[in-house]
Copies of this chain bind each other. A is one copy, B any other.
């Protein structure tokens, strides 16, 4: 760090006290306009910028928000993570806050979640979905650090999440409208998301007057391989579905592969619908119909929520559910058409 000018230099040159300079910097109206003028000129001349570390110390507020990233080495590459990051970063430029990124080396069982973060300045924390929630969140709650959960939920903390239920429901409704009546579903791993998407699937059937058939639902694990296996299982039934709806894109692509291996043409003989609108969705052949999660917007909203909370700790809990967007591409089509 180069030695820069301090508030004292400005004070000296402008022949005022540091208090006055400080008041000018902070737009206090307790300063004569002529004096202000003069001080501003000096500030500009010296290219003075307040030292934010010193300010943090006295104010007890660093204007730094922390994004805690799960310890998986490639997490930054994850599709949804990237998008959320873009959203946060974009929205953040509206505020005088900066973002620190912290990825611990691993889950620490002894000390609680983020071991090396103690003492590091942060006014608030973004927590992105995955498993690790419990311990981390409990600790942050205890420390009364403002938190916003992204893609997860809580009874106490602010959060923003996809409306999984209605998104899945809308997919099913749309498929029914396209003439499908036998709709297979490949479920994800146990957990909130998968449950909600399955619930939406059931709801969609119900809304369309179709009955729920457990044989048309098989479980997967979000992997391509399992998606393929699951699809084959679905397609081996007597009452073969005419469309397979998977709880994420990767499994949908697995289904695509299965169809290919079974010699079924997609979408002519089988439609396939994914969930996530990941990169893979447009790169697959044929391109995948899917549900786009508004990750970017989620990141944006999360930032707004967190900054608001940091600036006013006493606000009531804020929660946002955003709708997914149905994206129709080549892997699905009206039943019976060519």
List the B side residues contacting A89 at CB < 8 Å.
69, 76, 101, 103
Which residues of A65-104 are within 8 A (CB) of B? 69, 73-77, 82-83, 85-86, 89-90, 92-93, 96, 98-104
Enumerate chain B residues within 8 angstroms of A75, measured Cβ to Cβ.
Answer: 86
Whether a CB of chain B sits under 8 angstroms from the CB of A131 is: no
Say whether A121 faces chain B, with CB atoms less than 8 Å apart: yes
User: Quick check: is A56 within 8 A (CB to CB) of the other chain?
Assistant: yes
Given contacts A93-B104, A144-B2, contact A119 B49 (CB under 8 A): yes
Could you say which residues of chain B place their CB within 8 Å of the CB of A51? 57, 119
Contact of A118 among B49, B62, B90, B285 (CB under 8 A): B49
Interface size class of A (residues with CB under 8 A): 35 or more
A residues 5-59 in Cβ contact with B at 8 Å: 49-54, 56-57
A196 part of interface (Cβ distance < 8 Å): no
Given A101-B101, A121-B52, A86 and B76 contact (CB-CB distance below 8 Å): yes
Question: A265 an interface residue at 8 Å Cβ cutoff?
Answer: no
Contacting pair B76 A93 (CB below 8 A): no
Q: For chain A residues 98-119, which have a beta carbon within 8 Å of chain B?
A: 98-105, 116, 118-119
Q: For A118, list chain B residues within 8 Å (CB).
A: 49
User: A99 to B98, Cβ gap below 8 A?
Assistant: no
The CA-CA distance from A62 to B143 in the complex, in Å, is: 23
Cα-based distance from A90 to B90 in the complex (angstroms): 24
Partner pick for A73 among B1, B69, B86, CB 8 A cutoff: B86
Chain B contacts for A62, CB-based, 8 A: 1, 53
**Copies held by the complex:** 2
CB-defined contacts of A101 to chain B, threshold 8 Å:
89, 98-101
A69 to chain B, nearest CB (A): 7
Smallest CB–CB gap between A171 and chain B, Å?
23
Q: In the complex, which residues of chain B have a beta carbon less than 8 angstroms from the beta carbon of A76?
A: 82, 85-86, 89
Contact with B along A187-214 (1 / 0, CB 8 A): 0000000000000000000000000000
CB pair B100 A74 closer than 8 Å: no
Given contacts A74-B86, A120-B98, contact A143 B104 (CB under 8 A): no
Chain B residues whose CB sits within 8 angstroms of the CB of A120 once the complex forms: 52, 98
Min Cβ gap A255→B in Å is 16
From A228-236, A276-284, A330-338, the one touching the partner chain is A276-284
Flag if B1 contacts A145 (CB, 8 Å): yes
- How does the 8 Å CB contact mask read for A261-293 relative to B, with 1 for contact and 0 for none? 000000000000000000110011100000000
Q: Restricting to A137-164, which residues have a CB under 8 Å from any CB of B?
A: 143-145
A123 contacts the other chain (Cβ, under 8 Å)?
yes
Q: Name A60's closest neighbour in chain B (CB-CB).
A: B1
Which residues in B have their C-beta under 8 angstroms from that of A143?
2
Q: Are A50 and B83 also in contact (CB < 8 A) when A1-B145, A93-B103 are?
A: no
Min CB–CB distance A299 → chain B (angstroms): 10
Tell me the nearest residue of chain B to A253, going by C-beta. Answer: B283
**Which residues from chain B contact A93 at a C-beta distance below 8 Å?**
103-105, 116
Mark A residues whose CB is within 8 Å of B.
1-2, 49-54, 56-57, 60-62, 64, 69, 73-77, 82-83, 85-86, 89-90, 92-93, 96, 98-105, 116, 118-121, 123, 143-145, 279-280, 283-285
